[in-house]
Amino acid sequence: MAARTNPIPSVWARQQREPDQPSLSRASIVREAITMLDADGTEALSMRKLATRLNAGATSLYRHVATKDELMELAVDEVFGEMALPPADSPDWRAAATEAAEAFRTTALRHPWLSSVLGQAGLAYLGPNLASYGERLTAFFAAVGFPEPVRAIDTLISYVVGMSTTEAAWLTTVARSGESEADFIARLMPAAQQASADYAHLADAYAAAAALTDPAEVRNAKFAYGLEVVLDGLALRLPR
Amino acid sequence: MAARTNPIPSVWARQQREPDQPSLSRASIVREAITMLDADGTEALSMRKLATRLNAGATSLYRHVATKDELMELAVDEVFGEMALPPADSPDWRAAATEAAEAFRTTALRHPWLSSVLGQAGLAYLGPNLASYGERLTAFFAAVGFPEPVRAIDTLISYVVGMSTTEAAWLTTVARSGESEADFIARLMPAAQQASADYAHLADAYAAAAALTDPAEVRNAKFAYGLEVVLDGLALRLPR
DNA sequence: CCGTCGATGCGAACACTGTACGCATGGCGG
DNA sequence: CCGCCATGCGTACAGTGTTCGCATCGACGG
């Protein structure tokens, strides 16, 4: 197709309406912000860097987004759109609830900045995805037969948020070190054992942890254990 | 005592070794940082403002603290020193655990920045207070008879952290509005109800929430409910 | 008593941040 | 064809964390 390499100014050379990005839009901004956040964390996202990624001037973003905080809220809501939820009429409610909890966890770990943003902004202003998420979750717990579905949800979500938050923070620290999780643990071990030298139970716990091999598996098991605990407690609230 | 108001340069005027602050020290820096954080939140704390509060130059702080992140870690550990824990030989383990959970919650709400910092930094490097806290907690759960005390702790703490995080974030948003919690809710209600217009269960939930009067009491009850759930689940893991 | 040394404080500077303002531009409705 | 309005953006400002090199000062050894 290309016969010449020299750019000859002509009507043909001037590409007609083929912008590098389909211009700027709130959706594209949020999308790119999320990929940047996923890659390098909260503090690596600046309006200027985001803008250059979008082939735009720094302040152009403010035509579509009022403020950086608002952008964060939009990103959070966007991520809530990713979280799968079981249908309200699932036959096995425990399996379904487990699925929902695990889906939350995996998205929270895929976007490790989520937890810290939640801790700062909270969920006061609910965007469309968050609203839909809450609705479906409530419908599910109500259908299961919980007399106080909202209470049950708050309990379960609190557990999942708490566990995912610490886990995400941990994984972030690991990622910043540039090492693999196992290597990082190995390097951390001496310090931890020395710090817990005077504490019998802690030392035991660290010794036991040192024996384990696959850290990811350990985290999975920890999450599963707590989840079972919470579900057991909830099951007692089911009528009959 | 004061006979003259004019400052006459003399040996007597020159106060001998009476510094406005007992010079600068890591402890005093951390302490002042915490009060600033408590008062105005994470983003209101800057090294310069902190320094002026201590009658010091901005960069003097770096003689005692390597970096702002390290300062944050120190602040977190300091706060963990505030959290009360029941003795390991408490007769009623549920009452004791409830006490511990509530102590955590109240400190987390007294320092609303704690949760968001935990979400960013995690608890990788454990300071002395955190280590002691972990030790005593483990000792307690082991004494109660849990076969896997660390697992039990992780579950309970995850729930408490999750609930406190959302609660702290909410209270922060309320505080930023300058209104009372009840007023803020009242002003938020129309938006929330409109946002949940298409969602039957959510609308119900908001309607029910609107009927309640004392928001703090509602939060207390919510926390207590989930805590009972978790403790019920844990009780099933106790032998016999 | 003097000299030196280490610890401590700090002013200036750098690279960045979020954001307000005002001007250019260009496509569209009248 | 005119005018308008939405969109983009260059500049600027106040502030941030942190580095560097210099000043100061108390303690201590000779």
pLDDT attached to residue A22: 60
A223 CA from D4 C1′ (Å): 59
Q: Cα-flanking dihedrals φ and ψ of residue A181, to 5°? A: -60, -45
First CA to last CA across chain A, in angstroms? 75
Instruction: Please tell me whether residue B112 adopts helix, strand or coil conformation.
Output: coil
Q: Which residues contact A20 (CB under 8 A, 6 or more apart)?
A: A55
Q: Judge if pTM exceeds 0.85.
A: yes
How far is Cα A139 from Cα A153, in angstroms, rounded to an integer?
11
pLDDT attached to residue B193: 86
Name the residue type at position B117.
V
pLDDT attached to residue A20: 45
Going residue by residue through chain B, which has 240 residues, state the pLDDT in tens, using 9 for 90 and above: 444 434 433 433 444 444 444 678 999 999 999 999 999 999 999 999 999 999 999 999 999 999 999 999 999 999 999 999 999 889 999 999 999 999 999 999 999 999 999 988 776 678 999 999 999 999 999 999 999 999 999 999 999 999 999 999 999 999 988 899 999 999 988 888 888 889 999 999 999 988 898 999 999 999 999 999 999 999 999 997
A79 CA from C22 C1′ (Å): 36
How far is Cα B134 from Cα B153, in angstroms, rounded to an integer?
9
Contact B75, B34 (CB under 8 A): yes
**pLDDT per residue over A51-97, tens digit each?**
999 999 999 999 999 999 999 999 999 999 999 999 988 999 999 99
pLDDT of A98 strictly over 80: yes
Tokens representing B43 are: 């983003």
pLDDT attached to residue A240: 79
Tokens representing B48 are: 């310069």
Distance of residue A138 Cα from the nearest chain B Cα, in angstroms:
6
Q: Which residues of A191-223 are buried (b: 16+ CB within 10 A; e: fewer)?
A: ebeebbeebebbbebbeeeeeeeebeeebeebb
pLDDT of A211 strictly over 60: yes
| Mutant choice from B159, B176, B225 vs A, greatest count of A C-beta within 10 A | B159
Contact A203, A193 (CB under 8 A): yes
Task: Name the residue of chain B whose CA is nearest to A196's CA.
Answer: B131
Distance of residue A161 Cα from the nearest chain B Cα, in angstroms:
5
- Residue A18: pLDDT band by 50, 70, 90 thresholds? very low
Contact A34, A75 (CB under 8 A): yes
**pLDDT per residue over A138-193, tens digit each?**
999 999 999 999 999 999 999 999 999 999 999 999 998 889 999 999 998 888 88
Nucleotide nearest to A19 (CA to C1'): D8
Nearest CB to A119 within list B134, B159, B169 = B169
| Mutant choice from B76, B94, B126, B166 vs A, greatest count of A C-beta within 10 A | B166
Q: For residue A45, how many other CB atoms are within 10 A of its CB? A: 20
Q: Which residues contact A167 (CB under 8 A, 6 or more apart)?
A: A105, A108, A109, A219, A223
Q: Which residues in chain A have their CB less than 8 angstroms from residue B210's CB?
A: none
**Nearest protein residue by Cα to C1' of nucleotide C7:** B63
- The number of C-alpha atoms within 13 Å of A104 and in the hemisphere containing its C-beta is 26
pLDDT attached to residue B3: 40
**pLDDT per residue over A20-56, tens digit each?**
446 799 999 999 999 999 999 999 999 999 999 999 9
How far is Cα A99 from Cα A27, in angstroms, rounded to an integer?
29
pLDDT attached to residue B22: 60
Contact A138, B202 (CB under 8 A): yes
pLDDT attached to residue B240: 79
Q: For residue A41, how many other CB atoms are within 10 A of its CB? A: 16
Task: Name the residue of chain A whose CA is nearest to B159's CA.
Answer: A159
First CA to last CA across chain B, in angstroms? 75
Angle value at C-alpha B236, between B230 and B240, nearest 5 degrees? 150
| Nearest CA-CA partner of B161 in B196, B135, B123 | B123
User: Do the Cβ atoms of B124 and A42 come within 8 Å?
Assistant: no
B122 CA from C16 C1′ (Å): 26
Residue of higher predicted confidence among A194 and A22: A194
A/B interface, count of CB pairs below 8 Å: 193
Tokens representing B100 are: 């511990």
A59 CA from D13 C1′ (Å): 14
Task: Name the residue of chain B whose CA is nearest to A152's CA.
Answer: B226
Alpha helix (H) residue ranges in A41-92: 47-53, 68-80
Q: Cα-flanking dihedrals φ and ψ of residue B56, to 5°? A: -135, 165
Mean pLDDT confidence for A203-222: 93
Angstrom distances, CA of residue B109 to CA of A123, A169, A197, B63, B234: 17, 20, 31, 31, 25
- Residue A14: pLDDT band by 50, 70, 90 thresholds? very low
Contact B202, B142 (CB under 8 A): no
**Nearest protein residue by Cα to C1' of nucleotide D15:** B46
Share of chain A above pLDDT 90, in %: 75
Q: Which residues in chain B have their CB less than 8 angstroms from residue A161's CB?
A: 161-162, 165-166
How far is Cα B120 from Cα A217, in angstroms, rounded to an integer?
23
